[in-house]
Amino acid sequence: MQAGEREVVFRKASPWEKRLLRKTLADSFGEEALNVLRGGEIYAVEAYWVELHLLGAEVEKLTGIIGRLGRHPYSAGLFLGWVRRGSFTPSLPLIQLIVGIAERGVVYVSEKAGMLFLYGRDILCSSVLRVKGGKPRRRQLVIVANKRGEALGLGVFEKKGSVCVENKLDLGWYLRRAG
């Protein structure tokens, strides 16, 4: 390990991290969103940040074997999201699983708005086709989806002038990050 580097620690998520994850999902998307967590164990990868992952029984068993060899996996299972400054931010793979079962917090947008959102732009109120579960609370996390119900990313509901949803993370981020 180089000077200034932190060791990556792979561990079971703390009760507080699990509560934060569940509270964020239930508050933003409804109790049904918690169904994606069934049948798995939540683990945390900790270095300069904390990432949460959902592991099935076989993957959990494999990470135990790796741990006994003195190694820590950097990533395993389904990446759920990040814990930063006392809040949880869902990952893109997680919101793609939740979009179909969410009771609320899904903002459906026009095709043009969806394309612009994938380029990092915010969503204008005039581009919103409908909102599942009624108008979101101020600063609520929302899933931005196209009219076919495909999750395009994650936003924060914040009415500022003509903007309704601030872009927090979108599928185009992968390409922009690598480029």
Segment 98-137, tens digit of pLDDT: 999 999 999 999 999 999 999 999 999 999 999 999 889 9
The predicted model scores a pTM of 0.88
The whole-number pLDDT of residue 1 equals 46
> How big is the chain, counted in residues?
179
The Cα 66–Cα 30 span in angstroms is 36
For residue 131, give Cα distances in angstroms to 34, 118, 143, 145: 20, 19, 10, 10
The Cα 91–Cα 77 span in angstroms is 13
Q: Domains for the chain: give ranges and CATH numbers.
A: 9-97 (3.10.450.220), 104-178 (2.30.130.10)
- Which residues, in sequence order, are CB contacts of 125 under 8 Å at separation 6+? 159, 162, 163, 164
Residue-wise pLDDT for 6-24, tens only, equals 678 889 999 999 999 999 9
